């Protein structure tokens, strides 16, 4: 097996690093740092991935080789082809599992709804749009509703798809942790989300993923997480946020 994962520092490709660490599947990790000025992918990553983003994933053990540049598709591919991982960890749910529909819903909620809301707000923040503008207020209200719904769910379930960790947790984690270094969100009112963040950060595989991909950065699990002001393009907006 030759799995190649191209990961961008402080980015949603951490989802795939974490998944592979949980499943203990051998892979080669190629880490790229964000451009310190623009915060975007560096040219050497853009030269490898035509989409210019991370994650970028290749499975060279099959012919023709597989190449994917969407995190959700990469996670689904790994789960379909290597389902149980080398240590038997089963992070996928199938129609026979009682939590199958819940799993699917949260898996897709990660990028389809939660990250979509946060990244829209992030672009407004970068554009300098005042935080009291009607559009920002409206989106913030929507995000607060989403966080409340997640918090209620995690009040009744230890993990997103019930009592065990699943790939739905791997998909959601980035938006509620590392992403807050780019778009700050106060999670103080959401005790169940904070409990879940602590549970994730206590997992050796998650720690290992962050250690390998983000140079041992402390996971962003506090109610008010640190901000990535070391990146010039983020600094101005983050200092005002
Ligand atoms: N929907 C894609 C998003 C990929 C994406 O936009 N990745 C960001 C990192 S969070 C990136 O590579 N940004 C660098 C750039 O756009 O130059 C996924 O889930 O993989």
- pLDDT tens-digit profile of 55-109? 999 999 999 999 999 999 999 999 999 887 677 788 999 999 999 999 999 999 9
Q: What is the pLDDT of residues 107-116, one digit of tens each?
A: 999 999 999 9
Instruction: Output the CA 41–ligand 1 centroid distance in Å.
Output: 8
Q: Is 39 in the pocket of ligand 1 (CB under 6 A)?
A: no
What residue spans define the domains of the chain?
3-81, 100-240
Residue pLDDT, tens place only, 26-59: 999 999 999 989 999 999 999 999 999 999 999 9
Which atom of ligand 1 is the closest one to the Cα of 55?
Answer: 20
Q: What is the mean pLDDT of residues 163-173?
A: 97
What's the CA-to-centroid distance between 156 and ligand 1, angstroms? 32
Determine the pLDDT at residue 39. 92
Residue 210 has pLDDT above 90, yes or no: yes
Predicted local confidence at residue 218, as pLDDT: 95
Determine the pLDDT at residue 89. 82
Tell me which of 5, 7, 12 to substitute to probe ligand 1's pocket, judged by most ligand atoms within 8 Å of the beta carbon: 12
Q: Whose CA is nearest to atom 9 of ligand 1?
A: 11
pLDDT of residue 69: 97
pLDDT band of residue 1 (cuts 50, 70, 90) is low
Atom of ligand 1 nearest to the CA of 38: 17
Looking at domain 100-240, its CATH architecture is Up-down Bundle (1.20)
pLDDT for 67 equals 97
Which CATH entry fits the domain spanning 3-81: 3.30.750.24, 3.40.50.300, 3.40.30.10, 3.90.870.10?
3.40.30.10
SS (H, E, C) the chain: CCEEEEEECCCCCHHHHHHHHHHCCCCEEEEECCCCCCCCCCHHHHHHCCCCCCCEEEECCCCCCEEECCHHHHHHHHHHHCCCCCCCCCCCCCCCCCCHHHHHHHHHHHHHHHHHHHHHHHHHHHHCCCCCCHHHHHHHHHHHHHHHHHHHHHHHCCECCECCCCHHHHHHHHHHCHHHHCCCCCCCCCHHHHHHHHHHHCCHHHHHHHHHHCCCCCCCCCCCCCCCCCCHHHHHHHHHC
Q: Could you tell me if the CB of 49 is within 6 A of ligand 1?
A: no
pLDDT (mean) for 148-153:
98
Same fold, 3-81 and 100-240: no
pLDDT of residue 237: 84
pLDDT digits (tens, 9 = 90+) for 112-144: 999 999 999 999 999 999 989 999 999 999 999
Q: Output the CA–CA distances (angstroms, integers) from residue 117 to 89, 109, 112, 144, 235, in the order listed.
A: 31, 11, 9, 10, 21
* 45 CA to centre of ligand 1 in angstroms: 11
Asked whether the predicted pLDDT for residue 241 surpasses 80, the reply is no
Report which of 124, 169, 170 is spatially closest to residue 143, judged by C-alpha positions.
Answer: 124
Average pLDDT of the chain to the nearest whole number: 95
Tell me how far the alpha carbon of residue 106 lies from the centroid of ligand 1, in angstroms. 20
Residue nearest to atom 5 of ligand 1 (CA): 53
Index of the ligand 1 atom closest to the CA of residue 53: 12
Distance 163 CA to ligand 1 centre (A): 30
Instruction: Find out whether the beta carbon of 55 lies less than 6 Å from any atom of ligand 1.
Output: yes
pLDDT given at position 239: 85
Distance of CA 71 from the midpoint of ligand 1 (Å): 9
Whole-number Å distance, alpha carbon 194 to ligand 1 midpoint, is: 25
């Amino acid at each position: 097996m030759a799995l190649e994962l191209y990961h961008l520092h402080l980015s949603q490709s951490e989802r795939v690093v974490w998944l592979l660490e949980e499943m203990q599947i051998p892979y080669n990790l190629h880490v790229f740092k964000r451009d310190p000025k623009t915060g975007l992918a560096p040219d050497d990553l853009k030269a490898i991935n035509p989409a210019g983003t991370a994650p970028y994933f290749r499975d060279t053990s099959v012919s023709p080789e597989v190449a994917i540049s969407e995190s959700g598709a990469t996670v689904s591919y790994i789960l379909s082809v290597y389902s149980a991982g080398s240590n038997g960890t089963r992070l996928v749910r199938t129609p026979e599992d009682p939590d199958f529909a819940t799993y699917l819903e949260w898996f897709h909620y990660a990028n389809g709804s939660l990250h979509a809301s946060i990244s829209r707000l992030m672009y407004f923040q970068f554009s300098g749009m005042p935080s009291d503008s009607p559009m920002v207020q409206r989106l913030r209200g929507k995000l607060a509703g989403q966080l409340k719904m997640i918090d209620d769910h995690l009040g009744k379930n230890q993990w997103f798809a019930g009592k065990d960790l699943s790939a739905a947790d791997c998909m959601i984690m980035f938006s509620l942790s590392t992403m807050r270094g780019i778009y700050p969100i106060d999670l103080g009112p959401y005790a169940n989300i904070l409990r879940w963040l602590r549970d994730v950060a206590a997992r050796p595989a998650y720690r290992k993923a962050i250690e390998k991909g983000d140079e041992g950065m402390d996971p962003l699990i506090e109610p008010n997480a640190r901000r990535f002001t070391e990146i010039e393009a983020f600094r101005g907006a983050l200092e005002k946020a």
